[in-house]
Structure 1
């Protein structure tokens, strides 16, 4: 296998392992990785549209709309009319509680996922991935 293919596969394997561990652990606080990620996005951008939130969570607008509907039914998200036909998304108190519980779980899971790397390697890896994704501040 070519080096770049091996690198791409290793990144995908690490992500898959992390997602499985997060999904399993988040179930203990009554949510899923997709739901918790949506709650995080709404928390970061209260009042945002489905289009904005879909982009922030790497989903299609339709997929995000379905997910937001489930979160609304669960009492975690409130949808309100916005400007024009836009629907704004806000967390409810129950949504804030689930988000906070998810943060605690995620901190523990991710610390475990990266535990084999010393702090300096974690910093280096973060910097390299930020350069690859264009999030290095330049």
Structure 2
């Protein structure tokens, strides 16, 4: 029996939604939401990222990312730094990096409960297939 495109799409969405809800619950004691942790994660990988780039990476609008970043600056998790010209860049603070690491443990726990049930080979195949399906046309 073959799965329809809609069934596959719904299964992907259901797993993503499950991860999102559980991650937000596990990050809450740290004072973080999933999008805040994701922002910290991306700033660790790309120090000096612009708000626009962070918005793209975290699936936010520029406006919502600007408000989120402002709150994170106020909390001392990230800081704005001068970039070339008028460009404003962002970087992690030590407090933000500590929360990034603590949040990574929480998110890894969520992912281990679902994706961890797959063998290493199955995870690799799933990753390859998701990347292939997401390729721009």
1:8 aligns with 2:3: no
CA shift for structure 1 position 84: 2.3
Q: Deviations over 1:35-92 (max 9, x none)?
A: 0011111111111111111111111111111110010011100012222221110100
Query: Are residue 42 (structure 1) and residue 43 (structure 2) matched?
Result: yes
Please provide the CA RMSD for this pair: 1.6
Segment of structure 1 superposing worse, 86-95 or 26-35: 26-35
TM-score (norm 1): 0.90
User: Structure 2-normalised TM-score?
Assistant: 0.90
> Distance between the aligned counterparts of 2:93 and 2:44, measured in 1?
10
Runs of at least 5 residues in structure 1 that lack an aligned partner in the other structure: none
Equivalent position SS for 1:100: helix
Aligned residue for 2:73, secondary structure, equals helix
Q: Which consecutive aligned stretches of 4+ in structure 1 deviate over 3 angstroms post-superposition?
A: none
Matched positions, count: 134
Unpaired segments ≥5 residues, structure 2: none
**Pairing 1:75-114 to 2, within 5 Å after superposition:** 75-114=76-115
Q: CA deviation at 1:96?
A: 0.5
Q: Is 1:24 matched with 2:25?
A: yes
**What is the distance in 2 between the residues matched to 1:119 and 1:82?**
42
